[in-house]
Amino acid sequence: MSDFIHIRRDLHQIPELGFQEFKTQQYILNYIATLPQERMQIKTWRTGIFVRVLGTAPTKTIGYRADMDGLPIDEQTDVPFRSTHEGRMHACGHDMHMAIALGVLTHVVHHPIRDDMLFIFQPAEEGPGGALPMLESDEMKQWMPDMILALHIAPQYPVGTIATKEGLLFANTSELFIDLIGKGGHAAFPHETKDMVVAASALIMQLQTIVSRNVNPLDSAVITVGKLTSGTVQNVIAERARLEGTIRTLSPEAMEKVKGRIEAIVRGIEVAYDCEAHIDYGSMYYQVYNDETLTNEFMQFVEKETNVRLVRCQEAMTGEDFGYMLARIPGFMFWLGVQSPFGLHHAQLNPNEQAIDVAIQLLTRYVTWKGNHHVKEEEQ
């Protein structure tokens, strides 16, 4: 078993929510402290970490990002290294992401490349969103990379699969919270109340007309209400209701359109059911849009590798705040196959750990080639 599988298992046991990754941050810093320090510069930002590895003759900086946070999920696996934090789990593979990043970092420290590399350990990807504030931090502005890349585990693909595409890879996403406030009362006297169960039910049905009647059929959008909370007991009419959901679109324009329609429908609910309503969009993530030139170059590189298989995939409605970084820095994200019967955010997700070494080997070869590539260009 490789050292980085051990690291992944250690990290898997201490999942922490966004901007609470104190143990995770300290674990990573402790590991980095074991590496030769001569060519490393380290800065912390909140619960995140920047590690700059100086190249031998740099002309650019290659950025690599790994997210750090877990999810508020009770783990239901039987692995011996299951989460020790009750109600918390690395159910999106960020423990894998960090272990892979540390593997690449270790290689670059011991085997210098010409260009600088910036390793970004980013908190709060799952929420409230760490990429945008980290991108705008003074620390990152001082070390802004010229290109950036990241990966995400993919349970649907076998180990050894690398899946990506040029252009749009992940959707625009936004959380959605709607609170309805009416007037509660006894179930025997409904005429004296303003029933928010009825109002919420009507609102949910109307929200489902937005995609079918307001979004261009050639575009795509999803509105999901995943949680509805209302009422206290069976014989009391509910005074409040809360809807919690998500919006996903394949274009920023569609996101704007969907939100406009949600707001109009909610205003109508206020009038129709004589209630008060409040909308909160929570965390919003910008689309992951892969740079065409860099992505094609990476895919051509992968196709020449013998131990991995390239899949040109379709865009997905998943959300990732790495999109904010790609909006400002040329780069790309790709899926890493980990072959699990349970999907992302599932309490029984158990990725195949062999994918860790597959990713480290591929990425170290890629950044070595990319980080020394300008030598060939200069000689031409």
Burial of residue 186 (CB within 10 Å: 0-12, 13-18, 19+) is exposed
The yes-or-no answer on residue 126 being catalytic is yes
The yes-or-no answer on residue 95 being catalytic is no
Which one from 16, 126, 195, 353 is the annotated catalytic residue?
A: 126
- Residue 377 has a CB neighbour count (10 Å cut-off) of 8
Which one from 67, 116, 195, 320 is the annotated catalytic residue?
A: 67
Q: Is 345 within any annotated ligand binding site?
A: yes
Helices (H) and strands (E) in the chain, counts: 10, 17
* Cα distance between residue 364 and residue 27, in whole Å: 22
Q: Is 110 within any annotated ligand binding site?
A: no
Q: Tell me how far CA of residue 118 lies from CA of 51, 191, 321, in angstroms.
A: 6, 64, 18
Q: List, in order of start, the domains of the chain with CATH numbers.
A: 3-169+287-372 (3.40.630.10), 172-283 (3.30.70.360)
Mind listing the pLDDT tens digit for each residue in 310-360?
Answer: 999 999 999 999 999 999 999 999 999 999 999 999 999 999 999 999 999
Q: Tell me how far CA of residue 73 lies from CA of 82, 83, 86, in angstroms.
A: 12, 10, 9
Q: Is 126 within any annotated ligand binding site?
A: yes
190 has pLDDT over 90: yes
Q: What is the value of pTM for the model shown? A: 0.91
270 has pLDDT over 70: yes
